[in-house]
Amino acid sequence: MNEEAKRKLLRMIPHALYVLTSKADGQTAASTVSWVTQASFHPPLVAVGIKKETHTFEVTKRAQGFTLNFLGVDQKEVAQKFFKHVGPEGNQLGGEVFQESPVLKHPIFPKMAGFVECRIVQTVDRGDHAVVVAEVLEAECGPLEGPLLLSTTGWNYGG
């Protein structure tokens, strides 16, 4: 394997950034993720790579669902708040006001580009991240323009 070429090419796969949230049994998770793609029109499916052995994966698995909150173009500092686990404080997560999503009751952030609510239909558990396939049950646009592209942040995740 040419490791250098693998890293360089896999990092060319374009990504945006999202805050994935989930809630189950009184536990809340909120994590910035980038490995997200649409995977079907009918039904509308998305696939997300979620790191195993994380609080986020445990909560998401228990909930069998999550919400993808689409960050606005200028919300790099917001993305940064969810690289580590943060618990809710009142109506805030990482200092950002959240509400409950309408269908699955996961946290949503009203000041972003929008959110999709997803119910997990299958999990492929073959690597250090699980590929979680989920059906989009509801969607709502927010006040900000999105997306926040990983390529504009100077950060890398992949390779």
Ligand X SMILES: Cc1cc2nc3c(=O)[nH]c(=O)nc-3n(C[C@H](O)[C@H](O)[C@H](O)COP(=O)(O)O)c2cc1C
Interacting residues with ligand X (CB under 6 A): 29, 31-35, 49-51, 54-56, 83-85, 129, 155, 157
Q: At 16, is the secondary structure helix, strand, or coil?
A: strand
Q: How far is the CB of 46 from ligand X (least distance, A)?
A: 12
- 52-55, long-range: CB within 8 Å, 24+ apart, which pairs? 52/125, 52/128, 52/129, 52/130, 55/27, 55/29, 55/31, 55/85
Q: How far is the CB of 156 from ligand X (least distance, A)?
A: 7
Q: How far is the CB of 108 from ligand X (least distance, A)?
A: 18
**Which lies closer to ligand X via its Cβ, residue 83 or residue 141?**
83
CB atoms < 10 A from the CB of 143, how many? Answer: 10
**Which lies closer to ligand X via its Cβ, residue 33 or residue 113?**
33
